[in-house]
Structure 1
Amino acid sequence: MRANKMKVLFLTLVLGLVCSCQESPAEPHHSQLSGEWKTHYIASDNTEKTSENGPFNVYLHSINFNDKGDSLVFHFFLKNNGKCIESSVTGTKIGNNVYTADYAGVNRFHFILVSDDGLIVVSENEDEAGQISRLVGLLGKEDDVDDHDLERFKEEIRKFQIPEENIVDFTKGGGC
């Protein structure tokens, strides 16, 4: 009888340790996110936003956070009528890994660091007309896309019920 109580106590301790290790992933530190990034893929439930002259058909160059990590600047090129136009947008932290930026309306977004050189940005854009669009972008530090990062990106777009045919591939030539 005493041995059974010890087994139950031991099992409870082990389960408690396992559960305590199952915490939600921590917010990526801004120092991991600052630097040069390239747009690999963007998907949206509103393809007008990511079409050739759409406001989110952007070729990211870099993300730079301030020292506190409470604001950031996206540097990118927007392709409009075949011309590459350099631009930047400033964002402000409003919560745990949640940022806002004014660009083509109001955007609320967060980051999912998927690897050393893979980053997913999930965004909700409310444009000037009040239309809400969801966008998911896969960014990378290298030209090549890791298969694991791409699969994780596709998981995110499925969460938002964005069809795979809405993915815009920026890895093929013709960039800025």
Structure 2
Amino acid sequence: MALLLLSLWLSLVSAQDLNPRTIVRRNYDIARVSGTWYSISMASDDMKRIEENGDLHVFVQSIESLEDGRLKFNFHFMLHGECVEVAVVCDRTDRNGEYTLAYLGENRLLVSETDYRLFVTFRLQNIRNGTKTQVLALYGRLSELRPSFLHRFEKVCKTYGLGPENIISLSHQDPCYRYRR
């Protein structure tokens, strides 16, 4: 029995390893992104937008691929000390993994990469009053990911000109975590 429990524990631990061969960077099967997600990290070239009280300081609860091709995000955030839930629906474009939405300006949302099973990285490009802002978000199927995922996120951020000083951790910082369904 102890051997069975040990092998089960080892399989769960190894299942959380980052496997570069399973990472998808194009031709996304967006339906496989549907489900429960947790905010792990965010990065931006405008830090005040993703830091506490920033308009993009949100925590993902779930993502749903809708039948018409749109993508629905369920987020929550703190507003005046209360947890507020909001649903955001993004319209699909003609390009695989690319969506648009109207929120504080014009936005393009792109899937950067995913393995569907453990992580997904999104890139948001916002233009508001002529000012461009770039945000990257790392979401995990678990509330915490191993350091290998965080290192990979740093590399992805670097390809978009964002260094470690542009990255914030959101793991274990979700003030509404206890209200998740």
Aligned equivalent of 1:150? 150
SS at match of 1:42: strand
Q: Write the letter of the residue equivalent to 2:83.
A: C
1:106-162 per-residue CA deviation (whole Å, 9 max, x = no partner) reads: 2111111146211100111112x2211111110001022133321221111111211
Identity %: 25
1:40-78 per-residue CA deviation (whole Å, 9 max, x = no partner) reads: 10110001210211111001001111125x201110002
Aligned equivalent of 1:88? 87
SS at match of 1:168: strand
Contact 1:115/1:149 (CA < 8 Å) preserved in 2? no
Aligned equivalent of 2:57? 57
Contact 1:55/1:78 (CA < 8 Å) preserved in 2? no
Contact 2:59/2:174 (CA < 8 Å) preserved in 1? no
> Unaligned 5+ residue runs, structure 2?
1-23, 177-181
1:7-40 per-residue CA deviation (whole Å, 9 max, x = no partner) reads: xxxxxxxxxxxxxxxxx94322012111111111
Once residues 132 and 167 of structure 2 are traced to their aligned partners in structure 1, the CA distance between those partners, rounded to angstroms, is 18
Once residues 29 and 148 of structure 2 are traced to their aligned partners in structure 1, the CA distance between those partners, rounded to angstroms, is 21
1:126 aligns with 2:113: no
Once residues 71 and 139 of structure 2 are traced to their aligned partners in structure 1, the CA distance between those partners, rounded to angstroms, is 16
Contact 1:119/1:138 (CA < 8 Å) preserved in 2? yes
Question: Which structure would you say has the larger RCO, counting Cα contacts within 8 Å and 6 or more residues apart?
Answer: 2
CA RMSD in angstroms comes to 1.8
**TM-score w.r.t. length of structure 2:** 0.76
Aligned equivalent of 1:10? none
- Structure with max Cα Rg: 1
Instruction: Sort the Cα spacing of 1:77 and 1:113 in 2 relative to 1 into closer, same or farther, 3 A.
Output: same
> Unaligned 5+ residue runs, structure 1?
1-23
1:28 aligns with 2:21: no
Aligned equivalent of 2:118? 117
CA apart distance, 1:81? 4.2
Once residues 141 and 25 of structure 2 are traced to their aligned partners in structure 1, the CA distance between those partners, rounded to angstroms, is 22
